[in-house]
Structure 1
Amino acid sequence: MAWFLVPGVAISQEQGSSPPPDLAGRPYSIRAWVSVDPGARMGPATARDLVDDWLELARRFVGSSWQIELQDGEGPLRGRTPADLVEEAVAPRVDGAEKGWFLRIEPSGSGGGYTLVGREFDATTLQFGPLYRQPAPFPGDAPRSLFELSRRVFSPIAEIERTEGGVELLVQGASLPGPDPVGRVVVPGTVFRPYYVFLGPKNSVREIRSIPFTYLHVEDVNGPTARCEVVSGLRRPLPKQVAGRYRLVALGITPADVPTRFRFVAGEGDRQHPAAGYVLTARGIRDRVVTEVGTTDREGRVSLPPRFSDDLVVLRLMAGGVEPLREFPVLPGETAEEREVPVEPRPEAVALEFRLKALQDEVVDLIARRGVLEARLDSRASGQAWDEVKRLLDEYLRLTPRREFEDRLARLTEDARRDQAELGVPILTRTAQSELAEVRALVERYLDDEAYNAYLEAYRQSQQQAGAPDSSGSSNLVARSPSAPPAVAPRGGSQPANLPPESTAPDAPPPPAPGRGTGVPAPEPASKPKAQSGTSIPF
């Protein structure tokens, strides 16, 4: 769901009413119903003792924060399980309280003990919590298991106050003294979901809207105030320009042991169809390690297994493994309901990125081949094997020149811009532009011809000093420049058209006899390309 925004219009923020000054010191009014499945084989007296012991544990560890009102009878649970409850049957019975707890004792599937099931209904946001299950394998320890279930079921409520660096929460009941740390209402790491509660006449609730893909992650707690980090898939999840009178509240959530299910769809209206065959990845909100979760099936469905994570994760749906279609945070186990997520397929952008990946592979392969040739040239020049140097220079010259890659990049960019303007679809996306910049940087950084030109000059000097004719004139050896395409020797001639004229210097002295002298020193290239740290070159 979305909320009503008025872009470009400064609407005064009519935040219905300020939070009551005693909110942090106000306990939670909780109405609880407990039912027993006949298959559990628990008599009324045993059930009453279990509930009494549970209430005693709540008073001992939580204290006055929970004001539990145990209701007679099964109430809304008559003939139903907690999973079958609906708002229409629950809301009237919870009216006047802030929470409704619905707990049920069921037989254990393993044959011994019980399975305790429960969920909460929050009267402020009219939201059901997920369904929680707590094993109680030993009947004598069932009260402790029921207390642990109630801790998981409980969701604190808070008023949201915007700040410059994020948001702060004024949490109900956070100022009440707790007899034990396990009974604290809010602790660092607690996750909240924000809601807009729009108000009508006399502060009546007119509408309640959740903010999609938005969570508040508690970083620090100072008394009744909790400082939170806003984790959202929206650019402006908590805008101040919202029409109407409202309260901005947050509801705490605890993950349950249930799968988290999604269905991704593309298109709108009659053209809506499942987004099948896309890869879903996940990472932590502060972790850059990406894990592949699965691939959407033919219906666009994919799910996270139970207990996938106890904290927020960021999901990203990828097209072709290169183009992100949708990125949003989620708390696994937040709800067992399937959520539908719209996406916008970008086949043109994916096609462009695949071409860029192929071009990048060509560039990396060429860098590796040039590196091998330069290492051999260095070895042959150091050993004065100038015939081998000439052969290697000929092989180097036959490699794809830098100019060709620059032209291909320019054509890809121009074609993408034209198609994007004509089709009106995103092609030069952020990912595509990043790929373009990366390939361009590889070409500019590693495909210069300084090493080739340096070895070519060394070869020519060696021929002049040896008094031998410059055999480079009868070959394709020419100096290469990154700003111009390589010259090609004419087929019928003995020297390329743009080869500099041979030197007219006087004859060089004859070379020294073997073993008498050092011969021609091996010239070193002016600058030799090397793989540097911080690049994506795989060697």
Structure 2
Amino acid sequence: MSRAVPRCATLAAILLAGLARVSAAAELPAPEVAAAARPGEPIDRLPYRIELHLAVDPSARLDRASLSRIVREWQALVRRFVGPPWAVTVAPKASPLAGGNLQALDGEVLSGFDPGFDKIWLVRISASGDAALAFTGREYDTGTRRLGPVQEQRASVPDDAPRALLRFALELFNPTALITGQEGGRALLLVRGASVAPASELGRVASKGTVFLPLRLVTTRDNAVLIRRIPFSYLQVEQVDGPVARCAIVSALRDPLTQRVSRPNSLAAIGIKPGKSPVRLRFLTRGDQSPAAGYTLTARAVPDGHPQELGMTDRSGRIVLDADFATGLVILRLLAANTEPMVEIPMMPGEGGDERDIPFDPKPLTVGYQVRLEALRDEVIDLVAIRSRLEKRLEARLQGEDYDAIEQGLKEYALLPRRDVFAKRLEDLKNQATKEEAASKTAVLTKNVQARFNDLQALIDRYLSDDAFTSYTEALERKKAERADSAAARPAARKDTPRTPASPPPPGEPAAPAAPASSPAPGFPPPPARPAPPPAGQPAASKGEPPF
């Protein structure tokens, strides 16, 4: 066992150096393997040897001269912006696979390419409805025998084709690396070509944010090497220090890079970028493998993006995600009843491939308590709304001193359920869940359920307090007491206080004169005197005649 582990590590170095296919290298004797690997030259100083197979669809309407011009200008751009990390060779005759169905390609079909190249690019140029030319292609890594996702790029005008092809090549390229260890919960990667100075920043093989797929190279009993992808695991670069990339481990597994494997093994990685293929998932309940229908799927960007709803599984438990549902690595979460997470898995948008079956524990007890908590929470929220409306009405009546309406409102409040009722129901529900968890020996009170218990308890304590209504009751009692005291004081005051007549003037003093008639305001003439009535028996003067 002690001899096999270094041998597997040597094979991993050969794999990433691209000097021979892994299957062929595994069959070489140990001295020949060491010689082929050139141990004196580390992989971080090795460039990537790339062979481009460029197929032209008849719809593109490109003749040989136009195609040669596009390739020539593109190679000049590669030397200008990428430089030494890429050693690109254009195949004189493109492989028929480049002009076929790129979505249906399989890695086994591409195993016959020249192992002297590290990467094979299969690119097809065709016409596009809203653009002059469209580039479609995939990358095949000969060392890992892995086929990358489908990439697309469009050129709006023919003169922009070389620049569009450069952008397309940058999206198509995926670096390789050796996983040398872990430190502080982070994976350490020795990236191939990272020490080769690029012509510009665009030519760096790995930078912050680059995503890798971890691979495990396992040596079998017959000295063959199996390359297995570690499922639902990704490595995202957080920091690059020379040829070493420090990566965050994003995985649905507890320890995806564990070394507790029965067979000799080593770890490698290959980069991955968002592709243009739909992602097909099928969720099944663990045990009976029944379809998980009616579950909600959400996604959030790594590391701390906001979740967004993607859709709901159909009756067969399937869901298809478009290639552009996100722009980078995301965490997919399957929710039951829109609340309880069933399973979380990382995913790269547009990765494509065959449909993936994802089994999970449906947690029926946990989901049942989630539903009951939601129902109880709805009752509490409805009661909070009723109390708030009643409190606003009492406040308005108090400002208007309408104490009869306040008394009527307090009677309505007395008919509402009290806080103790809901607190008791919540406590009983939690005690029941604890007993079922102990009896079934399965997790019922998950973190999410416990958080919802705490949130509902805080909601009850904060919004179902009786302090406001107690103050209105006290104000009404004080006013009633004041009214009673005032009503009792008024009859007693009238009975005890006699009415005294006005005293006559002292003897010898004249009586007070009557109040004079109102005098005219200053600046106005006095009103004319009213004529005296005529004596009895004398007729009154007619209108317009003098009274004489």
Same-fold call, TM > 0.5? Answer: yes
Structure 1: unaligned runs, 5 residues or longer: 1-10, 469-507, 514-539
2:177 corresponds, among 151, 154, 158, to 158
Q: Superposition RMSD on alpha carbons, in Å?
A: 3.6
Aligned partner (choices 318, 327, 331) of residue 301 of structure 1: 318
Summarize the Cα distance change of 1:381–1:246 in structure 2 as closer, same or farther, 3 Å threshold: same
Looking at structure 2, the residues matched to 111 and 447 of structure 1 have their Cα atoms a distance apart, in angstroms, of 61
1:223 aligns to what?
242
Query: Which amino acid in the other structure matches residue 165 of structure 2?
Result: L
Q: Deviations over 1:41-91 (max 9, x none)?
A: 555565455444433432332222112344443446388444443333322
Q: 1:13 to 1:73 in 2, by over 3 A?
A: closer
Equivalent residues in 2 for 1:73-472, closer than 5 Å:
73-75=93-95, 77=97, 80-105=100-125, 107-110=126-129, 113-136=132-155, 138-160=157-179, 161-199=181-219, 206-268=225-287, 271-375=288-392, 377=394, 387-420=404-437, 426-456=443-473, 459-460=476-477
**Normalising by structure 2, what TM-score?**
0.73
**Secondary structure of 1:275's aligned partner:** coil
Matched, 1:60 2:60: no
Name the structure 2 match of 1:17.
9
Mapped partners of 1:138, 1:375: distance in 2: 66
Measured at CA, do residues 359 and 30 of structure 1 come closer, stay the same or move farther in structure 2, by a change above 3 Å? same
TM-superposed CA distance for 1:229, in Å, is 2.5
Q: How far is 1:413 from its partner?
A: 2.4
Q: For residue 501 of structure 1, what is the aligned residue in structure 2?
A: none
Give the length in aligned residue pairs: 460
Aligned to 1:505: none
- Alignment deviations for residues 314-367 of structure 1 (CA, whole Å, 9 cap, x no partner): 222222222222222222112254332223334443332222222112222323
In 2: Cα distance, 1:294 partner to 1:459 partner: 55
Deviation of 1:27 after TM superposition, in Å, equals 0.7
CA distances 1:194-234 after superposition (whole Å, capped 9, x unpaired): 112224589x6522222222222223333323332222333
Q: CA distance change for structure 1 residues 14 and 434 in 2, over 3 Å: closer, same or farther? A: farther
User: Is the Cα contact below 8 Å between 1:12 and 1:241 reproduced in 2?
Assistant: no
CA distance in 2, matches of 1:229, 1:454: 56
| Maintained 8 Å contact 1:76/1:90 | no
SS at match of 1:215: strand
Cα distance in 2 for partners of 1:262, 1:58 equals: 37
CA distance in 2, matches of 1:412, 1:437: 12
Aligned AA (1:229): A
Stretches of structure 2 lacking an aligned partner (at least 5 in a row): 14-38, 492-548
- Secondary structure at the counterpart of residue 97 of structure 1: coil
**Alpha-carbon deviations, 1:267-305, whole Å to 9, x = none?**
44xx32322222222222245533221122222222232
- 2:534 aligns with none
Contact 1:13 1:242 in 2 (8 A): no
Seen in structure 2, the aligned counterparts of structure 1 residues 71 and 406 have a Cα distance that, compared at 3 Å, is same
For 1:232, give the aligned amino acid: S
Structure number with larger C-alpha Rg: 2
The 10-residue stretch of structure 1 (452-461 or 339-348) with the greater mean CA deviation from structure 2? 452-461
Structure 1 position 172, deviation (Å): 1.0
Contact 1:194/1:211 (<8 A) preserved: yes
Q: Deviations over 1:80-117 (max 9, x none)?
A: 44444333332232424322222233x31449854333
User: What residue number does 2:29 align with?
Assistant: none
After superposition, the C-alpha distances for 1:428-461 in whole angstroms (9 at most, x for unaligned) are: 3332222222112222333343444455455556
Pairwise CA distance, 1:159: 1.9
- Does the aligned pair in 2 maintain the 1:125–1:197 contact within 8 Å? no
Letter in 2 for 1:92: G
AA in 2 matched with 1:17: A
The C-alpha deviation readout for 1:437-486, integer Å capped at 9, x for no partner, is 21122223333434444554555565566657xxxxxxxxxxxxxxxxxx
Q: Secondary structure at the match of 2:421?
A: helix
CA contact (8 A) 2:138 2:172 kept: yes
Structure 1 residues 331 and 467: CA distance shift in structure 2, 3 A: same
TM-score by length of 1: 0.74
Measure the CA separation in 2 of the matches of 1:393 and 1:81: 76
